[in-house]
């Protein structure tokens, strides 16, 4: 199984062929912590070795990747900027793309509720912008007010 890309949305699974998994949580966001917690639980359930690094920096990622044994899988979770910097540091330290899973959390996006299909998606946009609903694909104009009920900005079909 190859996880060479950046993943958003649902937390991607562990690579089951890896025996040792290095997990980095960046940015301190709840989404990143939840992703790393899910990975650690998955690793334990599968009898794999998991090393979890909370509040990691790109420099720490590079150092630990250099010290890691061949075949170690690296999982990185965090907001886009931090996750990309950490992934770049891991690659520079010698990690192969197929050994890396990068989960980009939505903390730098905004939640938008779609009145057409009733789902809340996260988008890299702000109020007044028009975005496509991630679920049904309709164009939504993001209204300027946060809905407490939905915990999201309301989208209006544009």
Q: Mapped to the 3 state alphabet, what secondary structure does 113-146 carry?
A: ECCCCCCEEEECCCCCCEEECCCCCCEEEEEEEE
The residue (of 56 and 114) whose beta carbon lies closer to Zn ion is 114
The residue (of 98 and 136) whose beta carbon lies closer to Zn ion is 136
Q: What's phi and psi for 81, nearest 5 deg? A: -65, -50
CB atoms within 10 A of CB 98: 13
Neighbour-count burial of 30, counting CB atoms closer than 10 A to its CB (0-12 exposed, 13-18 middle, 19+ buried): exposed
Q: Per CB under 5 A, does 135 bind Zn ion?
A: yes
List 24's β-bridge partners, or say none.
Answer: 53, 76
The residue (of 26 and 114) whose beta carbon lies closer to Zn ion is 114
**Which stretch in 19-27, 56-64, 93-101, 135-143 sits in contact with Zn ion by CB under 5 A?**
135-143
The residue (of 54 and 115) whose beta carbon lies closer to Zn ion is 115
Residues from 59 through 118 that contact Zn ion (CB under 5 A): 114, 116-117
Residues from 112 through 131 that contact Zn ion (CB under 5 A): 114, 116-117
Q: Which residues bind Zn ion (CB under 5 A)?
A: 114, 116-117, 133, 135-136
């Amino acid at each position: 199984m190859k996880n060479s890309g950046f993943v958003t949305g649902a937390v991607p699974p562990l690579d089951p062929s890896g025996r040792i998994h290095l997990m980095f949580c960046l940015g301190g966001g709840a989404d990143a912590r939840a992703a790393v917690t899910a990975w650690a639980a998955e690793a334990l359930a599968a009898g794999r070795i998991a090393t979890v690094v909370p509040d990691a920096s790109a420099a720490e990622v590079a150092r630990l990747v250099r010290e890691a044994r061949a075949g170690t899988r690296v999982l990185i979770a965090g907001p886009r900027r931090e996750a990309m910097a950490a992934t770049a540091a891991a690659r520079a330290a010698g990690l192969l793309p197929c050994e890396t899973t990068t989960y980009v959390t939505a903390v730098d996006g905004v939640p938008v509720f779609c009145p057409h299909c009733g789902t809340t998606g996260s988008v890299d946009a702000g109020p007044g912008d028009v975005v496509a609903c991630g679920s049904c694909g309709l164009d939504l104009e993001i209204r300027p007010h946060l809905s407490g009920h939905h915990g999201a900005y309301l989208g209006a079909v544009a």
